[in-house]
């Protein structure tokens, strides 16, 4: 019986998650549900730091238990040109010009050694979130700042994204979630097309009135204090949603004073399901329009992360609301959900905030695993691919002291660093930071479910003698997992 088989799968996954068995490799073949969760600006040192704070051990986060684990090079066309003397030819790519394992390492530190001279090499030039998301969303490399648009900004250079293709070819419902503005680079690269990530109003209008994903949940709210700031959504789009101009198609929910955002976004999702509508949730409004980041407390042996406000949903709540709506579509779903504040914390070298945002991502991944594990529905590991990834590294952070659970380093500038101010500092040296910018360090990818084994076939392809993947390989894994393999537009020299 279906339910019995489902229950067996659920216990199989529970077993896989506790003993890290390679069960996923025998599952598949087709993923009807593709869930891509992103920690923006996250690398393995941040993962270890958050894991030590929460559990006192190095790799104890929810996504560390996924059976596929890999390392990904994240360079974009701007990085490549920096090292190649300004030349980029998609028909004659030399991967080591984008990322050279002999200079940066075949594995990210501390999984591999820190090579002499690697810090300067890795800090020299790195991708941004727009070109990184474009790589896995389209299979193309592009310039810094481009959203699903060809390098060099040609007219008509818009690229169809994985979300758009799966909707067109397979009828998938598509959605994006972010804890930073919904028009920010990572969500925008999946559901809009622009030569510049900074064109927030045009990006928002394209997302909400042209692409019209089944779910959009993110930051960018103009504020509730009577003097709205339309940084991330145009006044026209906001007013139209508020006045009900899109009510026939979308359930609209927004941050409201004294209202629990987790409850309201899930209630709106429930309403969208009942009425057969799409969902637009607009929250955030901390300094940059983002959700207020969770805050860890310095309580040795009793780790505790508090929410700054209940007016925003947590990353897990926003992601569950999206899945609730998207999973109604019998054809399948594509969801990209991003914890975007990991990157913002790292730009500020703000360790405490970084730990809070990592806990938020960790909880979101666990919520997705629990959602898929639920018996009695059509979403199970035999037809669902979960990928957890990061778009690029940031801050060249190094854990110098082994902090026990609940313990935080002595930090100067808690809550006040960043947003243009000075970065936080660590007088006792428990952690060090090498930059307030992105780095070209390898990032991790974790996967489970239908098609997760496809990652293996890209190892050793671009970087012989290593297991390093390229970020464009994620696009090909997702498309092939969905039963629609695509030829790469990139050729190696």
Residues 219-248 touching Zn ion, rule: CB under 5 A, are: none
Q: Which is nearer to Zn ion, 317 or 343 (CB)?
A: 343
Nearest residue to Zn ion, by Cβ distance, number only: 343
CB count in 10 Å sphere of residue 57: 12
**Least distance from C-beta 395 to Zn ion, angstroms?**
10
Q: What is the rounded (10 degree) CA torsion for 83, 87, 93, 97? A: 0
Interface segment toward Zn ion; rule CB under 5 A; list 247-255, 287-295, 337-345, 371-379: 337-345
CA distance 33 to 13: 16
In the complex, least distance from residue 39 CB atom to Zn ion, rounded to whole angstroms = 12
Pick 90 or 437: Cβ nearer Zn ion: 437
| Min CB(438)–Zn ion separation in Å | 6
**CB of residue 122 vs Zn ion: minimum separation in angstroms?**
15
Q: Are 266 and 320 in contact (CB under 8 A)?
A: yes
Spatial distance between the Cα atoms of 379 and 94, rounded to a whole number of angstroms: 40
Secondary structure (DSSP) of 239-294: HHHHTTTTTTTEEEEE--TT--HHHHHHHHHHHHHHHT-EEEEE---STTSSPPPP
With binding defined as CB under 5 A, does residue 341 bind Zn ion?
no
Closest separation in Å from C-beta 293 to Zn ion: 15
- The tokens describing 109, both together, are 């530190």
Minimum CB distance to Zn ion, residue 391 (Å): 8
Binding mask 445-464 for Zn ion (x = CB under 5 A): --------------------
Q: Which of residues 63-82 bind Zn ion (CB under 5 A)?
A: none
216 vs 342, beta carbon nearer Zn ion: 342
Q: Which is closer to Zn ion, CB of 193 or CB of 438?
A: 438
Q: What's the gap between Cα 392 and its chain centre? A: 10
Binder of Zn ion out of 45, 237, 292, 343 (CB under 5 A)? 343
Within 191-220, which residues bind Zn ion (CB under 5 A)?
none
What minimum distance in Å lies between the beta carbon of 489 and Zn ion?
26
Instruction: Return d(Cα 484, Cα 334) in angstroms, integer.
Output: 14
Sequence-ordered alpha helix ranges (H) in 175-245: 185-191, 200-206, 235-242
What's the residue count for the chain?
493
Please confirm whether the linkage preceding 110 is cis (ω < 30° from 0): yes
Whether the link from the prior residue into 434 is cis, omega within 30° of 0, is no
Least Cβ distance, residue 150 to Zn ion (angstroms): 22
Q: How far is the CB of 340 from Zn ion (least distance, A)?
A: 9
CB of 432 to Zn ion, least distance (A): 19
> Of the two residues 286 and 343, which places its CB atom closer to Zn ion in the complex?
343
Stretch that binds Zn ion, among 16-24, 223-231, 280-288, 340-348 (CB under 5 A): 340-348
Of residues 127 and 312, the one with the C-beta less far from Zn ion: 127
220-224 contacts, C-beta under 8 A, 24 or more apart: 220/181, 220/182, 220/183, 220/184, 220/282, 220/284, 220/289, 221/254, 221/255, 221/282, 221/283, 221/284, 221/285, 221/289, 222/285, 223/285, 224/255, 224/256, 224/257, 224/285
* Cα separation, 235 vs 49, whole angstroms: 40
Q: How many residues bind Zn ion, per CB under 5 A?
A: 1
> Nearer to Zn ion by C-beta: 127 or 384?
127
Binding to Zn ion by CB under 5 A, coded x per residue (else -) over 408-447, reads ----------------------------------------
Which of 100, 343 has the CB closer to Zn ion? 343
The answer to whether the beta carbons of residues 67 and 369 sit under 8 Å apart is no
Which CB sits closer to Zn ion, 165 or 395?
395
Judged by beta carbon, residue 261 or residue 356, the one nearer Zn ion is 356
Residues in contact with Zn ion by CB under 5 A are: 343
């Amino acid at each position: 019986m279906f339910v019995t088989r489902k229950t067996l799968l659920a216990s199989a996954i529970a077993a896989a998650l506790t003993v890290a068995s390679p069960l996923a490799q025998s599952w598949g073949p087709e993923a009807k549900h593709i869930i891509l969760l992103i920690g923006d600006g996250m690398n393995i040192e941040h993962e270890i730091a958050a894991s030590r704070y929460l559990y006192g051990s190095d790799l104890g986060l929810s996504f560390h238990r996924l059976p596929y684990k890999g390392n990904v090079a994240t360079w974009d066309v701007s990085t490549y040109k920096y090292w190649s003397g300004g030349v980029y030819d998609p028909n004659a790519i030399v991967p080591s010009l984008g990322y050279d394992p002999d200079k940066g390492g075949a594995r990210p530190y501390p999984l591999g050694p820190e090579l002499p001279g690697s810090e300067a090499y890795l800090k020299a030039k790195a991708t941004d979130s727009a070109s990184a998301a474009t790589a896995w969303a389209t299979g193309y490399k592009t310039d810094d700042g481009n959203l699903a648009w060809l390098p060099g900004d040609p007219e008509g250079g818009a690229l169809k994204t994985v979300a758009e293709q799966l909707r067109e070819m397979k009828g998938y419902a598509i959605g994006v979630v972010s804890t930073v503005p919904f028009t920010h680079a990572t969500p925008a690269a999946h559901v809009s097309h622009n030569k510049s990530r900074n064109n927030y109003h045009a990006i928002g209008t394209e997302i909400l009135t042209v692409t019209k994903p089944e779910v959009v949940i993110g930051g960018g709210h103009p504020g509730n204090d009577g003097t709205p700031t339309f940084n991330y959504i145009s006044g026209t789009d906001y007013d139209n949603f508020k006045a009900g101009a899109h009510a026939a198609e979308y359930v609209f929910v927004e941050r409201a004073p004294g209202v629990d955002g987790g409850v309201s976004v899930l209630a709106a999702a429930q309403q969208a399901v009942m009425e057969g509508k799409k969902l637009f949730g607009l929250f955030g409004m901390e300094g940059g329009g983002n959700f207020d980041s969770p805050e860890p407390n310095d309580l040795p042996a009793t780790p505790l992360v508090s929410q700054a406000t209940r007016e925003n949903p947590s990353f897990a709540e926003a992601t569950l609301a999206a899945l609730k709506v998207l999973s109604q579509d019998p054809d399948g779903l594509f969801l990209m959900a991003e914890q975007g504040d990991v990157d913002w914390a790292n730009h500020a070298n703000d360790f405490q905030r970084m730990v809070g945002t990592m806990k938020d991502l960790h909880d979101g991944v666990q919520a997705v695993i629990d959602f898929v594990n639920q018996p009695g529905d059509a979403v199970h590991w035999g037809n669902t691919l979960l990928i957890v990834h990061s778009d690029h590294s940031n801050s060249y952070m190094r854990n110098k002291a082994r902090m026990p659970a609940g313990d935080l380093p002595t930090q100067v500038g808690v809550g006040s660093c960043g947003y243009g101010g000075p970065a936080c500092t660590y007088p006792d040296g428990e952690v060090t930071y090498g930059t307030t910018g992105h780095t070209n360090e390898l990032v991790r990818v974790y996967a489970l479910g239908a098609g997760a084994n496809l990652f293996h076939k890209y190892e050793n392809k671009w970087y012989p003698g290593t297991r390093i993947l390229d970020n464009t390989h994620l696009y090909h894994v997702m498309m092939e997992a969905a039963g629609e393999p695509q030829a790469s537009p990139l050729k190696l020299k």
